[in-house]
């Protein structure tokens, strides 16, 4: 059962990460992308303050709890580092992974806000023409 939970977390959490990074590309998913990015940022910031862990993610916390029950030790602070290490078998520099994660998030958020704002203004302009 724990192995199934592990696989489900890897699939779901990884899909969410890719959706956060790329969901702004497709018109139908742009608003949802902005929502998931906002929730991710809120988790990192506000839950991070509550749990005294900057960048706190409940999905990472729950997944790492399962991995510990499966006997995993020495889990990294970052889920993305864990995932990169797990997939490649390498040991990535945690500071580099954290920096790339933050910059990827900021870039995706800026793109999502910009494109969603553009879409909203375009809709408003079309509605005013009617």
Tens digit of each residue's pLDDT (9 = 90 or more) over 78-111: 999 999 999 999 999 999 999 999 999 999 999 9
Contact 50, 38 (CB under 8 A): no
Neighbour count for residue 48 (Cβ, 10 Å):
15
Cα distances from 55 to residues 25, 34, 48, 85, 130, in angstroms, run: 25, 18, 6, 19, 45
pLDDT of residue 126: 87
On the CB side of 32, how many CA atoms lie within 13 Å of its CA? 9
Residue 25 CA, distance from chain mean position: 16
Share of the chain above pLDDT 70, in %: 99
Given a cut of 80, is residue 50 above it in pLDDT?
yes
Question: Mean pLDDT across the chain, nearest whole number?
Answer: 96
How far apart CA 27 and CA 32 sit, in angstroms, is: 10
- Global pTM value: 0.92
Q: How many helices (H) and strands (E) does the chain have?
A: 6, 0
Query: Would you report the helix, strand and coil content of the chain in percent, each value rounded to 5?
Result: 80, 0, 20
pLDDT average, residue stretch 40-66: 96
pLDDT average, residue stretch 18-43: 98
pLDDT average, residue stretch 100-124: 97
Helix pair angle (2-22, 30-42), 10° resolution: 110
């Amino acid at each position: 059962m724990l192995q199934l939970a592990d696989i489900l977390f890897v699939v779901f959490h990884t899909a969410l990460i890719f959706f956060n990074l790329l969901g702004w590309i497709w018109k139908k998913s742009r608003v949802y992308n902005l929502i998931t990015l906002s929730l991710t940022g809120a988790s990192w910031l506000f839950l991070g303050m509550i749990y005294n862990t900057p960048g706190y993610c409940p999905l990472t916390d729950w997944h790492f709890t399962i991995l510990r029950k499966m006997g995993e030790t020495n889990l990294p602070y970052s889920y993305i580092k864990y995932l990169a290490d797990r997939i490649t078998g390498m040991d990535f520099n945690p500071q580099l992974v954290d920096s790339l994660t933050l910059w990827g998030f900021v870039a995706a958020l800026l793109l999502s806000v910009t494109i969603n704002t553009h879409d909203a203004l375009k809709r408003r302009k079309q509605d005013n023409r009617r």
